[in-house]
Amino acid sequence: MDEKIISRVDLMKICKDVIDKGNTLLTPGAADYYVVKDISDIILDTSALPSKISHKSYVFPRTEPVLYYKRSKNDVQLIDINIDSKKIVILGAKPCDANSINIMKHLFNWDHSDEFFNKRANNFMVIGLMCSHFDEYCFCTSVRSSPVSEKGSDLFLIPVDINNYALKIITEKGKEFISPYSGYLKPGDEKNSKLITENVRQPEAAFDSSEVYEWLGENFESPKWEGVGNLCLSCAQCAFVCSVCHCFDITDEDYSYTEGRRMKNWDGCQFGNFTLHASGHNPRDIQSKRYRQRVNHKFRYYVDRFGEILCTGCGRCSRGCPVSIDIKEIVSNCNDNQKEFLK
Ligand code: SF4
Ligand code: SF4
């Protein structure tokens, strides 16, 4: 891995060039990731909390057509969609967000390769930024990450003083992106940036994810799910703000008797009708079963299938929950039960 020094002024020149070339430059704000139109809007604050909503919709839109159709008496004509292939540079992604596309890639390339997701994911360039602040909802260090994790970033920034960043070149994609701007780069000092990252305050690990994994496998019918099930409103806010929740459904929308479009829309496993069968039977008919599914999917099933935890520890779902359900607390509780269970 190569490390350089870049001044904030020169970094902004690169950002301007990205915009001038017609690419999309995204950066996190307090509420959402936003498209930068003017570089004076860029903040790059290591002490900001994760935005309320993740950048997920730029790679996996809330709703999108996957094909159009035309029906005639004896035929159905299918019309392909042109997938938007614009390059998206995401500047200042927090480490908990930077790896989310990689985590979702497993699902979107499992039994079917989703060209919509893949085309956008391949066009993403992630410039991660070290994080220096956490609140009571953050738990990246419990899910195999940290405020200085470079996982998922193509380039990674560490502020070394008020005007300069250490710029780590992590991937080939990052190297390719930065090479036209090599005139802005000065030799780096790895010892200095290491010292900075080693001294960053990190959230204390709240649970051991492998103990949680074990507990979930042994306690599918635990009465503990009832407590959270009674509280949860089934609003699925938690799924919609999450950077790695990826449930969707497919619906056909007819414009007329002869024309329509097939839509892919976000869905959420906390909705009561998510698993409702056409027969009227619903295997997850009460909220406790749906919340149990959420935790099992993230901390057990996804690990079984892809070797990854389906959670980055960003804490968004808990910060925004209207009834203050805190996933960190729920999962830590599973861990405490596991410890008791092992006694
Ligand atoms: S945001 Fe809270 S209340 Fe809404 S579905 Fe999620 S856990 Fe339940
Ligand atoms: S489940 Fe919650 S804490 Fe985990 S990645 Fe999703 S929003 Fe963040």
Confidence of residue 85 (pLDDT cuts 50, 70, 90): confident
pLDDT at residue number 335: 80
Residue 2: in which H helix or E strand, if any? Answer: strand 2-7
**Cα of 325 to ligand 2 centre, how many Å?**
12
Question: CA 31: distance to chain centroid?
Answer: 15
- Report which ligand 1 atom has the smallest distance to the Cα of 233: 3
**Cα of 32 to ligand 2 centre, how many Å?**
15
Q: State yes or no: pLDDT of 339 exceeds 80.
A: no
- Please work out whether the CB of residue 39 comes within 6 Å of at least one atom of ligand 2: no
- Please work out whether the CB of residue 321 comes within 6 Å of at least one atom of ligand 1: yes
Give, for ligand 1, the residue of 52, 225, 238 to mutate: max count of ligand atoms closer than 8 Å to Cβ.
238
Mean pLDDT, residues 100-114 taken together = 97
**Cα of 135 to ligand 1 centre, how many Å?**
20
- Please work out whether the CB of residue 323 comes within 6 Å of at least one atom of ligand 1: yes
Q: Which residues contact 296 (CB under 8 A, 6 or more apart)?
A: 216, 220
pTM above 0.85, yes or no: yes
pLDDT at residue number 283: 96
Mean pLDDT, residues 300-305 taken together = 98
- Please work out whether the CB of residue 51 comes within 6 Å of at least one atom of ligand 2: no
**CA 85 – CA 241 distance, rounded (Å):** 24
Q: State yes or no: pLDDT of 72 exceeds 60.
A: yes
**Cα of 276 to ligand 1 centre, how many Å?**
19
pLDDT at residue number 86: 87
**Cα of 188 to ligand 1 centre, how many Å?**
45
- 128 DSSP β-pair partners: 93, 156
- Please work out whether the CB of residue 324 comes within 6 Å of at least one atom of ligand 1: no
Q: State yes or no: pLDDT of 270 exceeds 60.
A: yes
pLDDT tens for each residue of 154-187: 999 999 999 999 999 999 999 999 999 999 999 9
What phi, psi does 96 have (nearest 5°)? -70, -25
**Cα of 288 to ligand 1 centre, how many Å?**
11
pLDDT at residue number 84: 78
Q: State yes or no: pLDDT of 251 exceeds 70.
A: yes
Would you say 299 and 212 are in contact if contact means Cβ atoms under 8 Å apart? yes
**CA 284 – CA 270 distance, rounded (Å):** 9
Would you say 82 and 61 are in contact if contact means Cβ atoms under 8 Å apart? no
**CA 150 – CA 157 distance, rounded (Å):** 9
Closest of 67, 61, 60, 135 to residue 96, by C-alpha: 135
Closest of 330, 304, 332, 303 to residue 317, by C-alpha: 330
pLDDT at residue number 342: 53
Per DSSP, helices labelled H in 199-286 are 209-218, 224-231, 237-241
Q: Which residues contact 189 (CB under 8 A, 6 or more apart)?
A: 3, 5, 160, 166
- Please work out whether the CB of residue 237 comes within 6 Å of at least one atom of ligand 1: yes
Closest of 166, 99, 154 to residue 126, by C-alpha: 154
pLDDT at residue number 341: 58
